[in-house]
Chains A and B, each alone.
Chain A
């Protein structure tokens, strides 16, 4: 069945960079786009970006200077890279499959930015 699972470092110091991995199963990254969405504690959902089946990516314009999304189709993995982390980047980060709509979500991985 379709599954997405995020993994990340958990705790990162301000100004550092990190990479969060989304490992997928039950479908091929060559056929579906994968989005990244984050949710700060107690707050709503914010779209970060997407990598399409063909490999191109689009980003939230407010964050695009700090974001990079890439993937490895052969390993069924998508990577979200964030530079210059700030305390307000603290959030749960989700990867989400798109099939005309956001149909399957991962369980999320918590990122805390703190010194």
Chain B
């Protein structure tokens, strides 16, 4: 199965700071999806098919990548962006998730 490795596992950012989370796949995949999860809630689709923002996601978020390397970027960190972010591939079965990146606000 495809193993997804996210880095960093934990990070903190100041308001207004640029944030980049990376996701490395053990084999090439065509697309990557990203989910946001806040404590006590279910994950939400955040970015689909590598670079498309889900409904309601602020434009300060973006996604990019190809092959085995993908990333989620926040252009300017805001307090509401504090959450855990998971990458996921479903291009090759079984679907797999990265271990998550916990993003905190400084």
Residues of A near any B CB (own CB < 8 A) = 35, 44-47, 58, 60-61, 94, 98, 100-108
When the two chains form their complex, are residues A35 and B95 in contact, meaning their CB atoms are under 8 A apart?
A: yes
Expressed in whole angstroms, the minimum distance between the Cβ of A52 and any Cβ of chain B is 12
Residues of B within 8 A of A107 (CB): 41-42
Residues of B near any A CB (own CB < 8 A) = 33, 35, 41-45, 48-49, 54, 86, 88, 90, 93-100
When the two chains form their complex, are residues B100 and A44 in contact, meaning their CB atoms are under 8 A apart?
A: yes
With CB as the reference atom, state the residue of chain A lying closest to B44. Answer: A105
Residues of A within 8 A of B97 (CB): 44-47
Residues of A within 8 A of B48 (CB): 100-101, 103
Residues of B within 8 A of A61 (CB): 94
Expressed in whole angstroms, the minimum distance between the Cβ of B47 and any Cβ of chain A is 10
**In the bound complex, how far is the Cα of B93 from the Cα of A107, in angstroms?**
25
Residues of B within 8 A of A104 (CB): 45
Residues of A within 8 A of B54 (CB): 103
